[in-house]
Amino acid sequence: GLPLIFGVAPNHETAYALFSAQIAQQLSIQVQDILTWDLNVYDIQKGNFWGVDQAFIANSQLDNLASCHAAMTALLDTREQDATAVCALFDHEEIGSESATGAGGSFMQDMIQRICSVTDTNEEGRLRAMANSFFISADMAHAFHPNHATAYEPCHHVTVNQGPVIKTNANQRYSTNADTAARFIQLCEKANVPYQQYAHRTDLGCGSTIGPIVASRLGVASVDVGNPMWAMHSVRESAGVEDHLSMIKVLKQHFQS
């Protein structure tokens, strides 16, 4: 956990009482009106470009707001299609996704069912639509860092600003297989953007994404991708500007396919 320093409580006042008083003051309410709260801590510094030619960006929460921004930008810039294009942004991915607003909840299935209802699509049509769908799970990837070279597979050193990364894991911690990787590669080629491939060291634990969760619940073909970055999960993360533009291009190509 992170030990947060808020202030000094005078006269032996408890931290809870001091913080409650601050909330009440900010909201112009009485302390007794506060029942409970959710506390979220953020880095309030603005993001900055850095490096030669300002090739990198440093900011908080690039993992995974950068992928969310790329997906939303691509979707909003996509011309109208006959097929239904969906961009789904979930909570709680870092802690397992098992919540009402996480990928493990019923929200995605419920929304698809509602779309089918308003378009008069029967169950057979829904099943066919799922079989014909392609899901891209976009979550940032660990770029190679020379200070921790032994943490990487020797042949899978992904580099910042060299394109989106296709992530593969034999234990299905990522949802990628040969077919879905090939589909994403074709999207990259059509969008004229480079791509990289990554596999985690097999003798080290591997994190996961919403890819396997959504793929198993919906039965859709899925690929796990993401842009490379440094200092993932730190207060200040860094990634490549060109990679972000490339991800927008390839996701737009996907939505238009």
Q: Give me the tens of pLDDT residue by residue for the chain, a chain 257 residues long.
A: 667 888 887 777 888 888 899 999 999 999 999 999 888 888 889 999 999 999 999 999 999 999 999 999 999 999 888 889 999 999 888 778 788 888 889 999 999 999 999 999 999 999 999 999 999 999 999 999 999 888 888 888 999 999 999 999 988 899 999 999 999 999 999 999 999 999 988 787 778 898 999 999 999 999 999 999 999 999 999 999 999 999 999 999 999 98
Cα separation, 217 vs 2, whole angstroms: 34
Domains and CATH numbers, the chain: 1-41 (no CATH), 48-256 (3.40.630.10)
Cα separation, 187 vs 196, whole angstroms: 13
Task: Return the structure tokens found at 34.
Answer: 């506060």
- State phi, psi for 139 to the nearest 5 degrees: -145, 140
C-beta separation of 191 from 250 below 8 A: yes
Paired with 135 in beta bridges are 222
Task: Return the structure tokens found at 41.
Answer: 């801590």
pTM for the whole structure: 0.91
Residue 205: which residues within 8 A CB-CB, separation 6 or more? none
Cα separation, 185 vs 183, whole angstroms: 5
- Extract the runs of DSSP E, i.e. beta strands, from 1-125: 48-50, 56-59
Q: Output the CA angle 167-173-174, nearest 5 degrees.
A: 30
Cα separation, 160 vs 200, whole angstroms: 17
C-beta separation of 88 from 257 below 8 A: no
